[in-house]
């Protein structure tokens, strides 16, 4: 059993991707998190997308003064702000630099944590490049080739260099800045609460991703429905009994609050978690704690990479039933 700070029995935090996020739909959720004692991590886009965004147009950015003011309030309360790219659409190097500098000038520090976003071309080691295993890379590209959901998916399947954040000759390259400013980058997500079951080595290094300092994994719940389905009382109890670590990636802008009220099932889940002896701090704080417990930095072996990637594939197909 892991010994957490303040004699807590397990660790829990939320990593909120800013897709579809507006002040109206996230404020009730964050007010509840604050009142219950949770301190979590929120991504935000510094800039609007002047070229338009057919998918992510509903989201507000830090260019909205009221939204920006509320993000400042959250940071003053102890929440963490993370990077999700400069904006919701692909950004060339100059716009990524502007986005990082905006963070520094506005909040007095660079973001420590980064999450690749959707089909932004500046995503770093993304798409098939997430996999170290060559067979998994090939299978991922074949799967994308036959998906019709989005034009970027088809483009990514055809172009092996579609994702270019780490590609030095690309106009989307920013790997050196990621290495300099960002300590943690999210990689695989799983349909289970306790990440130590699948990734006890996190945060971890990969030998072929020199521009990422440390990778980490999270649980996955795309929206309020999947969040409510994943967090049963039995799973929460088991998370506490096992002394686990749950970092849940979700979109708090996707149905968690309507008409100023948090979803009733979500409210009960958060209240139940808050009643437990959990350590409720931002994601980077938990990753710092896990990193300090290691005698040395962990670079995954070939077998560990295979196990992590294979478990991701199984979870994607079967969820937490395995």
> Any idea what the CATH number is for the domain that residue 252 is in?
3.20.20.370
Please indicate, yes or no, whether residues 143 and 37 belong to a single structural domain of this protein.
Answer: no
Statement to judge: residues 204 and 317 lie in one domain: yes
Tell me the whole-structure pTM to 2 decimals.
Answer: 0.94
pLDDT of residue 295 exceeding 80, the answer is: no
Q: 133 in the Ramachandran plot: left (φ > 0), alpha (ψ -120 to 50) or beta?
A: beta
Domain shared by 9 and 119, yes or no: yes
Q: Is the pLDDT of residue 116 over 70?
A: yes
Q: At 117, is the pLDDT very low, low, confident or very high (cuts 50, 70, 90)?
A: very high
* Structure confidence at residue 322 (pLDDT): 44
| Locus of tokens 């990753």 | 287
Residues 187, 73 share a domain: yes
| Predicted local distance difference test score (pLDDT) of residue 177 | 98
Same domain, 141 and 282: no
**pLDDT over 60 at 149, yes or no:** no
Tell whether the model's pLDDT for residue 157 goes beyond 70: no
Residue-averaged pLDDT of the chain? 92
**Cβ(245)–Cβ(11) under 8 Å?**
yes
Query: What pLDDT, in 10s, does the model give residues 196-252?
Result: 999 999 999 999 999 999 999 999 999 999 999 999 999 999 999 999 999 999 999
CA atoms of 6 and 84, how far apart (whole Å): 31
On whether both 104 and 181 belong to a single domain, the answer is: yes
Q: What is the mean pLDDT of residues 88-94?
A: 96
Provide the domain count of the chain: 2
Mean pLDDT, rounded, for 278-304: 92
299-315 pLDDT, tens per residue? 999 999 999 999 999 88
88 and 139, same domain (yes or no): no
**Among 248, 250, 253, CA closest to 13:** 248
| Token digits of residue 285 | 């704080």
Domain region containing 204? 5-126+163-321
- Whether residue 119 is found in the same domain as residue 137: no
Q: Are residues 243 and 121 in the same domain?
A: yes
User: If pLDDT is split at 50, 70 and 90, which confidence band does 160 have?
Assistant: low
Q: Are residues 285 and 153 in the same domain?
A: no
pLDDT value of position 151 = 59
Q: What is the average pLDDT across 249-275?
A: 97
Which residue has better confidence, 149 or 190? 190
**Please, what's the largest Cα pairwise distance for the chain?**
51
Do 230 and 303 share a domain, yes or no?
yes
- 158 and 306 belong to one structural domain: no
Contact (CB, 8 A) for 300 and 212: no
The pLDDT assigned to 304 comes to 94
The closest of 50, 77, 78, 64 to 18, measured between CA atoms, is: 64
């Amino acid at each position: 059993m892991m010994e957490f700070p303040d004699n807590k029995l397990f660790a829990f935090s939320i990593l909120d991707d800013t897709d579809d996020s507006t002040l109206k739909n996230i404020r009730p959720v964050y007010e509840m998190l604050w009142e219950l004692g949770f301190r979590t991590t929120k991504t935000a886009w510094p800039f609007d997308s002047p070229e338009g965004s057919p998918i992510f147009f509903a989201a507000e950015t830090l260019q909205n003064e009221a939204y920006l003011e509320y993000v400042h309030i959250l940071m003053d309360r102890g929440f963490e702000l993370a990077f999700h790219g400069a904006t919701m659409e692909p950004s060339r190097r100059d716009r990524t630099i502007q986005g990082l500098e905006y963070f520094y000038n506005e909040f007095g520090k660079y973001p420590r944590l980064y999450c690749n976003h959707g089909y932004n071309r500046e995503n770093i080691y993304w798409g098939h490049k997430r996999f170290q295993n060559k067979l998994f890379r090939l299978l991922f590209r074949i799967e994308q080739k036959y998906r019709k959901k989005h034009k970027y998916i088809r483009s990514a399947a055809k172009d092996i260099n579609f994702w270019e954040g780490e590609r030095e000759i690309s106009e989307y390259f920013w790997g050196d800045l990621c290495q300099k400013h960002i300590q943690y980058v999210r990689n695989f997500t799983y349909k289970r609460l306790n990440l130590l079951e699948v990734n006890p080595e996190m945060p971890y290094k990969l030998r072929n991703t020199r521009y990422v300092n440390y990778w980490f994994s999270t649980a996955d719940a795309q929206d309020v429905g999947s969040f409510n389905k994943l967090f049963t009382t039995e799973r929460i109890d088991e998370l506490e009994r096992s002394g686990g670590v749950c970092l849940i990636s979700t979109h708090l802008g996707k149905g968690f609050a309507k008409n100023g009220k948090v979803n009733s099932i979500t409210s009960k889940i958060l209240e139940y978690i808050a009643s437990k002896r959990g350590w409720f701090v931002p994601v980077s704080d938990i990753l710092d704690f896990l990193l300090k417990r290691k005698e040395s930095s962990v670079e995954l072996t070939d077998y560990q990479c295979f196990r992590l990637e294979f478990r991701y594939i199984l979870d994607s197909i079967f969820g937490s039933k395995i």
